[in-house]
């Protein structure tokens, strides 16, 4: 499990260490650095997948993230032209330092400097159990692409969840890895599709996902029905159902299918979901972390946070296995700062930083004034 990520001269961060837990929630105002922290982890994985990480450096633009050129990555008040990302894992650390160049897709290592870099494949971030789901996930479509390399060989959903339908079609009968991930109100089997449908009921009661490959094409068709048995509706295209189900589908699949010892990075899992579904999403993340998958989630949803807090109170996840970080800019310097309230065994937070999911109270005060 990753214990921390340290960012040096990386975007908004001059030198910042961010502790990580089995379940880490990143929150904060826009432009405060939480997305940059996610990008740093994804950037290392992207560079590893491309074959550049071990010998050459960072690939800035690729399958997972597009961060621009060197001038877009270097901290604006950097005191040197050296950037670094350092990971702490199981008491050990590995550091990747690169030299700044203004243009180009690759930031390269200093000549002759390979100290601290791990061997290929070392660490949870570079293992087979990796998922990264961006905020700009794939829109509802009539059909979705297949990818043998991504789905069959890497078990990867795509950074935008574009291969979720293919993944579900291929592994629909595969048992989920732990029965504790089964939806608490479900009598369905432990097969992936059955449990995906059980959890999707939280977002749209009565909805059922159907998948099938389109013969002699490289596409999979996804449809939704509502109700059950003879009372079920005709199939609906995703384009006629709305964004919430399509956006949440890869998140649910990632939580249910990632192997123990893997890692799931996700941005805004709550997008287009009703608050009830957002709370359920928080609980599912807590269950996922409890069975050995590290989850790092960026969210603007107090409902997702509350789902996690309730799960901690109910004993689903030990309090020490969760971390909450609130990213902000220091009012005096403009530099990135992080406040980290702890969740206790009752699901309560140790303190509430100003701006941390407190807008409801602030608005209510104005209404009652």
- Establish if 192 belongs to a structural domain: yes
For residue 245, what are the contacts with CB-CB under 8 A and spacing of at least 6? 140, 200, 203, 204, 207, 209, 224, 238
Please check whether residues 170 and 108 belong to one and the same domain: no
Q: Rounded to a whole number, what is the distance in angstroms from the first to the last CA of the chain?
A: 48
Please check whether residues 23 and 76 belong to one and the same domain: yes
Please check whether residues 241 and 306 belong to one and the same domain: no
- Establish if 282 belongs to a structural domain: no
Please check whether residues 221 and 317 belong to one and the same domain: no
- Establish if 286 belongs to a structural domain: no
**Final residue of a structural domain among 226, 257, 288:** 257
Please check whether residues 157 and 241 belong to one and the same domain: yes
Q: How many distinct structural domains can be found in the chain?
A: 2
pLDDT, tens digit (0-9, with 9 covering 90-100), for 237-250: 999 988 899 999 99
Please check whether residues 115 and 7 belong to one and the same domain: yes
Q: Is 43 helix (H, G, I), strand (E, B) or coil?
A: helix
Please check whether residues 154 and 212 belong to one and the same domain: yes
Please check whether residues 204 and 233 belong to one and the same domain: yes
Give me 61's structure tokens.
Answer: 């633009």
What local confidence, expressed as pLDDT, does residue 105 receive?
A: 93
For residue 117, what are the contacts with CB-CB under 8 A and spacing of at least 6? 53, 54, 94, 95, 96, 109
Please check whether residues 115 and 181 belong to one and the same domain: no
pLDDT tens for the chain, residues 1 to 369? 999 999 999 999 999 999 999 999 999 988 888 999 999 999 999 999 999 998 899 999 999 999 999 999 999 889 899 999 999 998 899 999 999 999 989 999 997 555 545 555 578 999 889 999 999 999 999 999 999 999 999 999 999 999 999 999 999 999 998 889 999 888 878 899 999 999 999 998 888 999 999 998 999 999 999 987 656 788 889 999 888 999 999 999 999 999 999 999 999 999 999 999 999 999 999 999 999 999 999 999 999 999 999 999 999 999 999 999 999 987 777 778 899 999 999 999 999 988 888 777 777 777 787
Nearest to 23 by CA among 226, 305, 213: 305
Half-sphere exposure (Cβ direction) of 203: Cα atoms closer than 13 Å? 29
Helices H, strands E: what count in the chain? 8, 15
What local confidence, expressed as pLDDT, does residue 184 receive?
A: 86
Query: Rounded to an integer, what distance in angstroms lies between the CA atom of residue 131 and that of residue 128?
Result: 9
For residue 71, what are the contacts with CB-CB under 8 A and spacing of at least 6? 102, 103
Give me 71's structure tokens.
Answer: 């001038």
* Phi–psi pair at 16, nearest 5 degrees: -135, 130
Query: Rounded to an integer, what distance in angstroms lies between the CA atom of residue 63 and that of residue 67?
Result: 11
Please check whether residues 114 and 156 belong to one and the same domain: no
Please check whether residues 35 and 109 belong to one and the same domain: yes
Q: Is 42 helix (H, G, I), strand (E, B) or coil?
A: helix
Helices (H), 91-163: none
The H or E element containing residue 106 is: strand 106-108
**Final residue of a structural domain among 206, 237, 257:** 257
Going from the C-alpha of 79 to that of each of 10, 13, 67, 75, the distances in angstroms are 12, 12, 21, 9
What local confidence, expressed as pLDDT, does residue 359 receive?
A: 78
DSSP state of 174: S
**Final residue of a structural domain among 235, 257, 279:** 257
- Establish if 283 belongs to a structural domain: no
- Establish if 281 belongs to a structural domain: no
Please check whether residues 247 and 364 belong to one and the same domain: no
What local confidence, expressed as pLDDT, does residue 231 receive?
A: 64
Please report, to the nearest 10 degrees, the dihedral formed by the alpha carbons of residues 301, 302, 308, 314 taken in order: -150
Task: Specify the pTM.
Answer: 0.93
For residue 89, what are the contacts with CB-CB under 8 A and spacing of at least 6? 1, 2, 3, 123, 124
Task: Classify residue 155 as left (phi > 0), alpha (psi -120 to 50) or beta.
Answer: left
- Establish if 197 belongs to a structural domain: yes
Quote the domain boundaries for residue 251. 138-257
What local confidence, expressed as pLDDT, does residue 279 receive?
A: 95
């Amino acid at each position: 499990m990753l214990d921390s990520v340290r960012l040096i001269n990386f975007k908004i961060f001059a030198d910042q260490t961010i502790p990580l837990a089995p379940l880490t929630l990143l929150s904060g105002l826009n432009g405060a650095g939480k997305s940059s922290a996610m990008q740093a982890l994804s950037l290392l994985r992207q560079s590893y997948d491309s074959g550049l990480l071990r010998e050459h450096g960072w690939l800035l633009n690729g399958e997972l993230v597009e961060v621009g050129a060197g001038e877009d990555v270097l901290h604006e008040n950097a005191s040197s032209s050296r950037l670094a990302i350092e990971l702490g894992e199981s008491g050990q650390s590995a550091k990747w330092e690169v030299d700044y160049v203004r243009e180009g897709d690759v930031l390269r290592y200093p000549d002759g400097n390979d100290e601290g870099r791990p061997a290929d494949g070392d660490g949870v971030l570079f293992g087979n159990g990796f998922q990264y789901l961006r905020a700009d996930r794939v829109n509802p479509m009539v059909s979705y692409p297949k990818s043998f390399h991504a789905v069959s060989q890497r078990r990867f959903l795509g950074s935008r969840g574009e291969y979720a339908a293919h993944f579900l079609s291929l592994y629909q009968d595969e048992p989920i890895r732990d029965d504790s991930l089964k939806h608490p109100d479900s009598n369905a089997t432990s097969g992936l599709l059955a449990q995906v449908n059980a959890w999707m009921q939280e977002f749209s009661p009565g909805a059922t996902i159907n998948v099938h490959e389109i013969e002699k094409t490289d596409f999979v068709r996804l449809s939704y029905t509502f109700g059950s048995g003879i009372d079920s509706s005709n199939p609906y295209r995703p384009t006629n159902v709305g964004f919430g189900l399509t956006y949440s589908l890869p998140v649910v699949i990632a939580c249910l299918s990632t192997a123990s010892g893997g890692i799931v990075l996700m941005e805004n899992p709550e997008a287009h979901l009703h608050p009830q579904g957002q709370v359920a999403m928080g609980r599912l993340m807590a269950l996922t972390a409890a069975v050995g998958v590290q989850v790092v989630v960026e969210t603007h949803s107090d409902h997702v946070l509350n789902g996690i807090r309730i799960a901690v109170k109910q004993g689903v996840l030990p309090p020490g296995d969760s971390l909450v970080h609130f990213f902000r800019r220091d009012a005096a310097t403009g530099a990135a700062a992080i406040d980290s309230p702890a969740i206790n065994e009752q699901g309560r937070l140790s303190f509430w930083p100003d701006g941390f999911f407190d807008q409801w109270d602030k608005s209510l005060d104005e209404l009652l004034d």
